[in-house]
Amino acid sequence: MSKTQIPTGGIADDAISEEHIDATALTGNTALEAQPASDDEVLISDAGTLKKLDIKHIQNTPAFHASSDNTLSVSTNTNTDAACNIEAFDSDSKYDTSTFRFTPGITGKYFFYIQTRISESSGRIQVALYKNGSALSQSSGHIEMENSGAGNNTFTGVSGSCITNCTSTSDYFEAFVWHKDGSTKNMTNRVFLGFRIAGI
């Protein structure tokens, strides 16, 4: 193929189209055969301006799944941290197994799910999502799913989910449990998970 010298002043607009670009123009021209890393980049057109975009901005991450490997003693009528201390996964190391807090560090909308199970209770039980130390309001993703225990020799479970906003990089979220049985009860099978919803 003959070579043409680039004219003085550069290449004219629209002079290069897709048939003029070969795969060898890429730094790495082999197909990616694994999940892209969060700091991998794609090229997009933003209203006609080419920009690089980190993959993390179009993934459902940060994401985590935590559960418990112990029994939690919960006093009656007392909001208590669910204390989920075991991670199944934590995509960006944003869940702390010592404070039981999820601090995403990226603003956006997040989905959360919480569950617990109570032993031999005949009272009410609930789960709740807290943001920055306080239960979320009714207008911002409040969870107050409730069940009633069935008494002796039973386990009763309750779970709840919501979508809420993370509006600051310092926002943190926690799972809380509650019951009103009249005496201290044990809660097991506690789960707390969440992930960012990309694109909304």
Domains of the chain: 18-57 (no CATH), 62-196 (2.60.120.40)
Of 198 and 196, which is predicted with more confidence? Answer: 196
pLDDT tens for each residue of 82-100 = 999 999 999 999 999 999 9
Picking from 55-59, 180-184, 194-198, which range would have the lowest pLDDT averaged per residue?
A: 55-59
95, burial (CB in 10 Å: exposed 0-12, middle 13-18, buried 19+): buried
Of 26 and 118, which is predicted with more confidence? Answer: 118
pLDDT tens for each residue of 96-134 = 999 999 999 999 999 999 999 998 888 999 999 999 999
Query: Closest by alpha carbon to 110, among 95, 127, 126?
Result: 95
Whether the pTM exceeds 0.85: the reply is no
Residue 2: pLDDT band (50, 70, 90) is low
The pLDDT value given to residue 85: 97
Query: Closest by alpha carbon to 126, among 176, 191, 84?
Result: 176
pLDDT tens for each residue of 35-76 = 666 666 777 777 777 777 776 667 789 999 999 999 999 999
- Cα 116 to Cα 80, 84, 165: the distances in Å are 12, 10, 24
Could you please report the per-residue DSSP string of 108-127?
A: EEEEEEEEEEEES--SEEEE
The pLDDT value given to residue 17: 66
The secondary structure of residue 55, as a DSSP letter, is: G
